[in-house]
Amino acid sequence: MTANTQGPEPAEVGPGLAELIRAQARRHPEAVAVSAGGVDLTYGELARRAAGVRAAVRAYGAGPERPVAVLASPGADLVVALVGALSSGAPLMCLAGAGTAHAALSDLEPACVVTDSGPDDQVRQAVGATGVPVLDIADIPGATDAPVSAVAPDATAYVAYTSGTTGRSKGIRQTHAALAQFTGWFAAEFGIGAGTRLAQWAAPGYDACLVEVFAALRAGATLCPVPRRVRVDPDRLVPWLSRERVTVLQTVPSFARELEPLLVGALAPARLATLLLAGEALPGPLAGRLRARLPRTRLVNLYGPTETILATWHEVSAADTGPGTVAIGRPIPGRELLVLDDRDGPCPPGEIGHLVISSRYVTTGYVGAAAADNAVFRPPAGADGLAPHYWTGDLGRWRPDGVLEFHGRRDLQIKMYGTRIELADVEAALSADAAVAACAVVPVTGADGLLVRLDAYVVPGPGGTPDRWRSALRHRFDDAVLPVAFTTVDSLPRNTGGKVDRRALAGLRTGRTKHRDPMECAQ
């Protein structure tokens, strides 16, 4: 461990997030909290509608031991539902699609689901099949604002679902203390406050969405939800950023790569003060192009797993724009980053090792089928035991100047458009279809090192076609539908141990392969 492994310890968390948002509504009731589709929702109206949601979910038994699920499209209704659910004192579950909904509702048995008209029929059917009461937010009347019940800092604030190795979504708990501390740091560090217009770009169901919502609202900023059809369409998003006068945008490097050529002339969002990139390794050349396109915009690289919300941050400078990937920087306050060797010893600067996070803000654990997966939380040999640890599965090294570099993963976990996915999950989803006799999936990266697609090698079963296989993936991965190229093969190569020889797969591309545009596959 080096002297720069520890971020400054934050001050005490103070009031809960719900109370901080309520305080903003008392001080500035006419300020715009959410600007969506040409309609502005003030902080006063947000407080009134959220109080109605709080009362409604409590009537169904929501509380510290009974979660509330939220299933809504980006917009004012989603924000109202999130604030109302959080202020009820119940753990919040923000759902994405059918697969995630089924896993979450089975794992946690929430008191109710708050929804709007946005989710498609498949998702609604998945929710309806569970028998959990469904409340349409349009039918919930507003209520008089009232003090928010205090919650214990270590109580669960939300459960975020992400892909795991078991073939089903993995629920990750996070505490009120962690969410409040992180959103406080996020708002302060990136100058979010009155006058800020923060794009709510992250898809519902991911912790980044919650960070965007609560960091903006606790600070008195205006949240600008990105419409679903605009969100992954660069040709629509760039002019939308200008029209909405967005000052802060958070996205993933692979999508920023699609935006970059469009950031020219009158289309360039002149008011964009901060561009935050997270979820994937950031190639240096891409960072250089973004800096050239947006010379007055602050560019920041963020790193970290859902298990700690995020862990490090790095201000991108001209020195970071050469070959390779941009450094992931220094710890966010309250997090200690360790680079350990195979014997749990600290690696000296320049030596690559396992990235381990030590923090009181490490998740309190997984839920459902993943609850027994405790190996990733083991303390390193010789640890004092005062703070939880999380083994990220990533590799990194310290530079002599105390800045941390990312050096890939030690397993087959990948990130596609910011969404964490296990290759084993993709293979499991395909293998579950009778039209697949056997399969193996390998990632393909572009010249800049970013993942561009997955190559799936399939031994077809009866009726097997690429369209059918893509349908199986859409059903399993919801909004994180994958850009996949399929190759049909007679058999999969295996090594002497009987395992699939992934290195030999590239030589099998003799069958018919079909590609799909990555942006067409995103949410």
- Reported as a single tens digit per residue, the pLDDT across 151-177 is 899 999 999 987 554 445 788 999 999
> Strand ranges (DSSP E) for 418-519?
419-422, 436-445, 451-460, 484-488, 513-514
| Concatenated DSSP letters of 50-111 | HHHHHHHHHHTT-BTTB-EEEE--TTHHHHHHHHHHHHTTSPEEE--SHHHHHHHHHHH--S
In this prediction, residue 476 carries a pLDDT of 74
Distances (CA, A) of 435 to 78, 99, 465: 38, 20, 8
b vs e for 448-477, b when ≥16 Cβ sit within 10 Å of the residue's Cβ?
Answer: bbbbbbbbbbbebeeebebeebbebbbbbb
Is 295 in a helix, a strand, or coil?
coil
Check residue 522 and give its pLDDT. 32
Q: Which of 83-92, 292-301, 384-393, 420-429 has the lowest mean pLDDT?
A: 420-429
Q: How confident is the model over 197-249, as pLDDT tens digits?
A: 999 999 888 899 999 999 999 999 999 999 988 988 899 999 999 999 999 99
| pLDDT for 98 | 62
Contact 294, 275 (CB under 8 A): yes
**pLDDT at residue number 117:** 76
State the pLDDT confidence band at 513, using cuts at 50, 70 and 90: very low
Structure tokens belonging to residue 87: 């202020």
On whether the CB atoms of residues 114 and 57 are closer than 8 A, the answer is: yes
pLDDT, greater one: 108 or 219: 219
Tokens found for residue 369: 């089928």
Higher-scoring residue by pLDDT: 517, 382: 382
Whether the per-residue pLDDT at 318 is higher than 70: the answer is yes
Distance CA 466, CA 458 (A): 9
Q: How far is CA 497 from the centre of its chain?
A: 36
Asked if 303 and 376 count as a contact pair (C-beta separation under 8 A), the reply is no
Contacts of 8 by beta carbon, 8 Å cutoff, 6+ apart:
333
Give me 74's structure tokens.
């980006």
- Please say if the pLDDT value at position 520 is more than 50: no
CB contact set of 332 (below 8 Å; sequence gap of 6+): 7, 182, 185, 304, 310, 311, 312, 313
pLDDT over 80 at 503, yes or no: no
Annotate 270-283 with DSSP letters as a single string.
TT--EEEE-SS--B
Length of the chain: 523
Q: What is the mean pLDDT of the chain?
A: 85
The edge-to-edge listing of strands for the beta sheet with 451-460 is: 436-445, 451-460, 484-488, 513-514
270 or 266, greater pLDDT:
270
Q: What is the mean pLDDT of residues 9-26?
A: 76
Q: Which of 84-98, 119-133, 386-400, 413-427 ranks highest by mean pLDDT? A: 386-400
Confidence band for 279, pLDDT divided at 50, 70 and 90: confident
Confidence band of 430 (pLDDT split at 50, 70, 90): confident
Long-range Cβ contact pairs of 106-110 (< 8 A, separation 24 or more): 106/130, 106/368, 107/159, 107/171, 107/367, 107/368, 107/369, 108/67, 108/69, 108/159, 108/171, 108/367, 108/368, 109/66, 109/67, 110/62, 110/66, 110/67, 110/68, 110/69
Q: Mean pLDDT throughout 78-96?
A: 93
How far lies 119's CA from each of 57, 73, 76, 92, 101, in Å? 20, 7, 15, 18, 11
Amino acid 498: pLDDT: 42
CA distance 359 to 95: 27
pTM attached to this predicted model: 0.81
Per-residue pLDDT at 432: 72
Report whether pLDDT(88) > 90: yes
Confidence of residue 258 (pLDDT cuts 50, 70, 90): confident
User: Torsion angle, CA of 255/260/265/267, rounded to 10 degrees?
Assistant: 0
Nearest to 158 by CA among 74, 99, 86: 86
Closest CA to 440 of 521, 505, 518: 505
Most trustworthy range by pLDDT among 89-98, 251-260, 314-323, 356-365: 356-365
Distance CA 179, CA 93 (A): 14
Instruction: Provide mean pLDDT across the span 439-454.
Output: 81
pLDDT of residue 486: 92
Phi first, then psi: give them for residue 309, nearest 5 degrees.
Answer: 70, -70
Alpha-carbon separation of residue 333 from 189, 217, 298, 460 (angstroms)? 11, 21, 20, 51
* Least reliable range by pLDDT among 32-46, 103-117, 279-293, 491-505: 491-505
Under the banding of pLDDT at 50, 70 and 90, the label for residue 500 is low
- The full set of domains in the chain, from first to last, is 1-16+175-411 (3.40.50.12780), 413-521 (3.30.300.30)
User: What is the helix (H) or strand (E) element at residue 473, kind and residue range?
Assistant: helix 466-477
Cα–Cα–Cα angle for 310, 442, 283, rounded to 5 degrees: 45
| Average pLDDT of span 370-374 | 83
pLDDT at 280: 85
Check residue 108 and give its pLDDT: 86
Q: How far apart are CA 305 and CA 309, in angstroms?
A: 6
Q: At what angle do helices 76-87 and 207-218 cross, to 10 degrees?
A: 80
Contact in structure between 102 and 130 (CB atoms under 8 Å)? yes
- Helices 466-477 and 423-431, packing angle to 10 deg: 120
Q: Among 140, 242, 247, 232, which Cα is nearest to 521's?
A: 232
Q: Which residue has the higher pLDDT, 98 or 352?
A: 352
pLDDT level of residue 3 (50, 70, 90 thresholds): very low
